[in-house]
Amino acid sequence: MDKEKVQEFIAKRVAHELSDGDVVNLGIGLPTKVANFVPHGKTIIFQSENGFVGLGPSPSEDNINPYITNAGGVPVTILPGGAFFDSATSFGIIRGGHVNLTVLGALQVDERGNIANYMIPGKMVPGMGGAMDLLSGAKKVIVAMEHTAKGSPKILKECTLPLTAMGEVDLIVTEMCVIEVTPEGLLLREMNEEFTLAEILESTEAKLLLPEKILSMQSVIM
């Protein structure tokens, strides 16, 4: 799969973790694609930390409004019933525990559910934005990311980059597999049929716990 297909596959799988009526925050980049794949029959209220609820799917080329953007500055749509508000209200929703689920990207995640997702030492990059607030304020945290970076594992025994939060990640979804963070360690729940178990283990530095039955990601998406 090319990069676009990889990201779509991850976003589709994440979308199946959403429950009807959830208030969901999507991080910038790959996580924003989740809004395009909400399963039929589910109503999800997407919240954008720059100040609105009612985020809809990505706009078509002839329907872009440059004044309606997500936290990453990318044009989005807003659904009927959506509302705009200031940053204080937006972060009041996040810090007040009103977000059921947040989907964030990451540079690294480790065996204890620690996450590093905002800084590469020595490089000019933006700050963490609202990630720290979301990680501590959301009821459930899903990391949606590609499994490796230029062939190097991103799921580690211990993060080496500065941490955004400690022990807050609940689920990791990559193009290779779905991993649940448990008190005993990282549990391999599902596999992409295009990869072997050996390939997944080789691409993951952290130890993975293997259940008796590992589900297919494709079967969940379908």
Write the pLDDT tens digit of every residue in 117-130.
987 767 766 666 78
What pLDDT was estimated at residue 124?
Answer: 65
- How do residues 140-152 score in pLDDT, each as one tens digit? 999 999 999 999 9
Identify whether 146 is a catalytic site residue. Answer: no
CA distances in angstroms from 152 to 78, 167, 203, listed in the order given: 38, 22, 7
What pLDDT is recorded for position 57? 87
Distance, in Å, from the CA atom of 221 to the CA atom of 218, rounded to the nearest integer, reads 5
Look up the pTM and report it: 0.94
pLDDT value of position 106: 95
Q: Which segment of 22-26, 58-62, 87-91 scores lowest on mean pLDDT?
A: 58-62
33-46 mean pLDDT: 93
Which candidate in 17, 49, 111, 190 is catalytic?
Answer: 49
Q: What phi and psi values does residue 189 have, to the nearest 5 degrees?
A: -90, -40
pLDDT of residue 107: 94
76 pLDDT exceeds 80?
yes
Mean pLDDT for 75-81 is 92
Mean pLDDT over the full length of the chain: 94
In 3D, which of 8, 15, 6 has the Cα closest to residue 220?
15
- Averaged over 5-24, what is the pLDDT? 97
pLDDT over 70 for what percent of the chain? 97
